[in-house]
Amino acid sequence: MGSSENPGFNTVGLIGRRDSAHVADSLRAVIKCLAGHGVRILVEDQTAALLEGEGYGVCSRQALGERCGLIVVVGGDGSLLSVGRDLAHAGVPVVGINRGGLGFLADIAPKRINEQLGAVLAGEYRVEDHFLLEAKVLRDSRELTASAALNDVVVSPGSMARMMEFSLAVNGEFVYDQRSDGLIVASPTGSTAYALSAGGPIMHPSLDAIVIVPMYPHTLTSRPLVVRGDSTIMVTLGAVERAQVSCDSQVTFDLESGDQIAIQKYAAPLRLVYAYGHSFYESCRSKLDWATRLGGQQ
């Protein structure tokens, strides 16, 4: 198939991590690759500030979700978390290009843009649906705020190093009262992020399940709990001096004593695109430094 032909995507959007000066090189490489495949290119308005040149249109992030058949995100897993929360509802497929270390979500390395993004544009790809969580904060039964989270929802005292008291219920059924440094509620996608460092299990991204991980609980018998993906998880705060809920460590909201945080699956998944050959287990081996043989020999 010639490089000027593109069987799947007529308009492709481009979003780059805005706080990295090195992203511009990869953005230009992506634009060159896209232009070579004859697609129309739309660049997020804030990303366009990193670029100089012609051959592409400029629009808002939300407009990209409405007008594009594919969105390319340059910047790594953190950038994809933001895009997931903002654009999952649009249902547009997203492909990630990392800047530096291998990511679980942003799979394409900068030096392989032409090869792997070119393969995607030529139709050689598969799509994985990664479900998000949605956290709603309730105060006196009134909803104060809500946010989606691709990785996790974390209830904690914030920057203060102190324990907090709360109760946990799943689908209206009481689970436990707890004193701990907080609670992590993670999707399978987020199981390899903060939840993993707190002792949670690694979950394959295709699982329809949610993991609940206590942070340094004041008991030796409190362990991570895996529940069905369609569960509703309710965290009710006890008396607290200070607390907050955080979604993907990027969106935070201050909490008060008695507040409730209702967590359940978000209405739409993030549709991640991978070139053929992508392996979750290869990502684990590389990112988590798993040896392929005993003794670390390859």
Q: Are residues 125 and 143 in the same domain?
A: no
Q: Are residues 284 and 239 in the same domain?
A: no
Measure the CA–CA gap between 15 and 81, rounded to whole angstroms: 12
Q: Are residues 90 and 155 in the same domain?
A: no
Strands in the chain per DSSP E? 11-16, 40-44, 57-59, 70-74, 94-97, 125-130, 133-139, 142-149, 152-156, 164-170, 173-180, 182-186, 209-215, 225-228, 233-237, 243-247, 251-255, 260-265, 270-275
pTM of the model: 0.91
Whether the predicted pLDDT of 111 surpasses 50: yes
Q: Are residues 170 and 54 in the same domain?
A: no
Q: Pick the more confident residue, 41 or 22.
A: 41
Q: Are residues 44 and 125 in the same domain?
A: yes
CB within 8 Å of 266: residues ≥ 6 apart? 88, 131, 132, 133, 134, 148, 149
Whether the predicted pLDDT of 130 surpasses 80: yes
Residue 77 annotated to the active site: yes
The active-site residue, picked from 19, 25, 45, 77, is 77
Q: Are residues 240 and 278 in the same domain?
A: no
Q: Are residues 97 and 61 in the same domain?
A: yes
- CATH number of the domain that residue 15 is part of: 3.40.50.10330
The pLDDT-based confidence of 292 (bands split at 50, 70, 90) is low
User: Is 22 within the bounds of a domain?
Assistant: yes
Domain count, the chain: 2
Tens digit of each residue's pLDDT (9 = 90 or more) over 210-229: 999 999 888 878 899 999 99
Q: Are residues 87 and 142 in the same domain?
A: no
Structure tokens at 58: 């400029």
Q: Are residues 179 and 252 in the same domain?
A: yes
Measure the CA–CA gap between 42 and 72, rounded to whole angstroms: 10
Range of the domain at 261: 133-265
User: Is 6 within the bounds of a domain?
Assistant: no
CB within 8 Å of 28: residues ≥ 6 apart? 51, 53
Measure the CA–CA gap between 107 and 81, rounded to whole angstroms: 14
Q: Are residues 257 and 282 in the same domain?
A: no
Q: Are residues 143 and 120 in the same domain?
A: no
Q: Are residues 168 and 238 in the same domain?
A: yes
